[in-house]
Amino acid sequence: MNILTIQTDIRVKNVLIHEDAFSVELMDGRTLTVPLAWFPRLLKASPEQLEKWVICGGGYGIHWEEIDEDLSIEGLLRGAPAPRNQPRA
């Protein structure tokens, strides 16, 4: 019996910045597109700041030094926007 095994590689290959979203190209050929509105720091950043990203976490994350933002590919795949601040009691 043969079992089909699909190989996935969710490490970051490239990040593309759009007007109101960003796309992450993965090593396995998939591309994720996510709205900037999900991440307030990214939404407020200048286009120049958004372009200054680096791959981090062994290829499984994206870091923007100037705006102090880190995103994991696992979180993006789950469709998890940045947590909103909870009101203090």
CA 50 to chain centre: 12
Domain encompassing residue 69: 12-78
Instruction: Report the SS3 class of residue 83.
Output: coil
Q: Is 49 among the domain residues?
A: yes
- CATH code, domain carrying 17: 3.30.2020.40
Q: Does the global pTM surpass 0.75?
A: yes
For residues 38 and 63, the answer to whether their CB atoms sit within 8 Å is no
Residue 77 is predicted with a pLDDT of 95
Summary mean pLDDT of the chain: 91
- pLDDT 10s digits, 36-72: 999 999 999 999 999 999 999 999 999 999 999 999 9
Q: Is 48 among the domain residues?
A: yes
**% of the chain exceeding 90 in pLDDT:** 80
Count the domains in the chain: 1
